[in-house]
Structure 1
Amino acid sequence: MRDPTTPAPIVEMRGIEKAFGAVQALRNVDLVLYPGEILGLVGDNSAGKSTLMKILTGAYQRDAGEVFVAGQPVHFKSPHESRDAGIEMIYQDFALCGNMDVGQNIFLGRWPRKGLFVNRRKMYAEADSVLKRLKVDVNSVYQKVESLSGGRQQSVAIARAISFQPRVVILDEPTANLSVMATERLLETMLELKKQGVAQIIISHRLVDIFAVGDRVMVLKRGENVGDRYVRNTGEHEVLEIIVSGTREHALTADEARP
């Protein structure tokens, strides 16, 4: 039973099903996410993690099941609709324009206007404000993105997502190609977002990162829920065991698995 002091979920997915032809990618999957929570979503490469997140963001359409955001039923037809509801996804390739500068990338496609012209002063001031809010350093908002390191490009991608004032941010393998130092900076940024009440889902094969910043870890296997644990009540070894040998029949929720 959920602790009555716990806030209502910001996202809840119930009984999600998705097939691609004869391949059943998701089978009756449930997910819950609370405000300000960092949830690690793990599993092998065919587990269905990205498919589930693309359904949440409207990139894919579910075959069955329900999705609720802040208690309201939703059925997003596109990522634009999920963005309007406060959900942002940052993909592994960052989706940045390398030949544009930091400020232009943060406000790409929605540059502030002054009459018929781009209000560059406002754009760069707001870009700088977002970066300061995240406590990240990219040297200059006028710097071309292609000249930045992978870690700083990741920071720009996060800043762009945060500029939409989301309630939920999804990060797809955010530390996969980062140096140790860049990874540490990213994890610090995630904790800063948490302080500001932004809920986050991190898809990652790096359990060490999830255990560094996460509150809870959810395991998918062959498109099914096979385990859910509070980070404080488990360890990497148990989660690896669930990834390798977990079954839906023996799956426990985080509350059921409490010691």
Structure 2
Amino acid sequence: MKAQHTTVLDIDHVDTPLLSLRHISKYFGGVQALIDVDMEVRRGEVTVLVGDNGAGKSTFLKVISGVNIPEEGEIRFNGKPVSIHNTLDSVELGIQTVYQDLALCDNLDIVQNLFLGREITRAGRLNEAEMERVAQQCLDELGIEIQSVRANAGALSGGQRQAVAIARAMLGAPDVVLLDEPLANLGLKQRQQVSKLIMGLREKNVGVVVVSHDLAEVFPICDKVVVFRLGEKVAEIQRAEITTERVVAEITGSNTFLDEE
């Protein structure tokens, strides 16, 4: 880590991290989008990635999900070196990603969206009853209140759509869930519902990584904030040290607040 980085360490977390990324660098042509980035993800921990547009946070999320392949660096899962060359590699490790566009099919109902591409069959036919049962159980476990699992996705509110996308990710019993701007374009009540869902994932001992611009909403639910600026990780701030002033100063590179410390 470079000298200008400011890091607050939690000395209580000495166990092996669920996911560890070291010295990750990514280039797009002559542009270096990520520069020597380190980060750890632990079970039951919510990590929020913040930074201006183009800072590198979404690029880093896509490295974990297998969309972007880094030119340099090492990835370990449960302490063992792994290679993530595509999204299937990421999924097989136990990593699920919910992107901002959600990729729900509006013409399909909730059950069909949850099981798209992994339908449950019996004697060569779709087992609709079992899929409905599992879908309802998944929604109930996450505390998602939707009138019917047979409602079309196109008729759902923004918060409900986000909830269904998270439920779909959880069907695979993942160890890590990546959320790209889960609170974007949602009303206050819907943001609160999604925030509650994220806390539910933490309670299930899932490692959660969230990319967000909505600082006020994500601070109360996160365990640490990782700040990106111009492709570099410039700060990792643990929950007890998080303040809006501190994070904004790190995002912008302002020395005023940091010098006061």
Scaled by the length of structure 2, the TM-score of the pair is 0.92
Alignment of 1:61 with 2:60, yes or no, is: no
**Structure 2, unpaired ranges of 5+:** 1-8
Name the stretch that deviates more: 229-238 or 87-96: 229-238
Percent of residue pairs identical: 36
- If asked which structure has higher relative contact order (CA below 8 Å, sep 6+), I would say 2
Q: Assess, with a 3 A threshold, how the Cα gap between structure 1 residues 213 and 154 changes in structure 2: closer, same or farther.
A: same
Q: How many residues align?
A: 249
Amino acid at match of 1:193: L
Whether the 8 Å CA contact 1:221–1:246 is kept in 2: the answer is no
Whether the 8 Å CA contact 2:225–2:242 is kept in 1: the answer is no
Alignment-derived partner of residue 216 in structure 2: 208
Whether the 8 Å CA contact 2:10–2:238 is kept in 1: the answer is no
Q: Assess, with a 3 A threshold, how the Cα gap between structure 1 residues 223 and 5 changes in structure 2: closer, same or farther.
A: closer
Whether the 8 Å CA contact 1:101–1:144 is kept in 2: the answer is yes
Whether the 8 Å CA contact 1:226–1:246 is kept in 2: the answer is no
Name the stretch that deviates more: 1-10 or 103-112: 1-10
Whether the 8 Å CA contact 2:215–2:244 is kept in 1: the answer is yes
Q: Assess, with a 3 A threshold, how the Cα gap between structure 1 residues 150 and 112 changes in structure 2: closer, same or farther.
A: same
* Structure 1 residue 192: Cα displacement: 1.1
**Correspondence 1:210-249 to 2 at 5 A:** 210-245=218-253
* Structure 1 residue 185: Cα displacement: 0.6
* Structure 1 residue 5: Cα displacement: 5.5
Alignment-derived partner of residue 256 in structure 1: none
Amino acid at match of 1:51: T
Which of 101, 112, 124 is the aligned partner of 1:104?
112
Aligned equivalents of 1:231, 1:166: Cα separation in 2 = 24
Q: Assess, with a 3 A threshold, how the Cα gap between structure 1 residues 6 and 135 changes in structure 2: closer, same or farther.
A: farther
Aligned equivalents of 2:162, 2:114: Cα separation in 1 = 12
Aligned equivalents of 2:111, 2:92: Cα separation in 1 = 21
Which of 146, 154, 161 is the aligned partner of 2:154?
146
Q: Assess, with a 3 A threshold, how the Cα gap between structure 1 residues 126 and 46 changes in structure 2: closer, same or farther.
A: same
Aligned equivalents of 1:9, 1:86: Cα separation in 2 = 14
Alignment of 1:176 with 2:184, yes or no, is: yes
Q: Assess, with a 3 A threshold, how the Cα gap between structure 1 residues 174 and 2 changes in structure 2: closer, same or farther.
A: closer
Amino acid at match of 1:88: Q
Describe the superposition over 1:188-243 as per-residue Cα deviations: whole angstroms up to 9, x where unpaired: 11111111101101100111122120010000111101111012213011100000
Aligned equivalents of 1:14, 1:160: Cα separation in 2 = 29
Which of 98, 121, 125 is the aligned partner of 1:113?
121
Alignment-derived partner of residue 48 in structure 2: 40
Alignment-derived partner of residue 20 in structure 2: 12
Secondary structure at the residue paired with 2:16?
A: coil
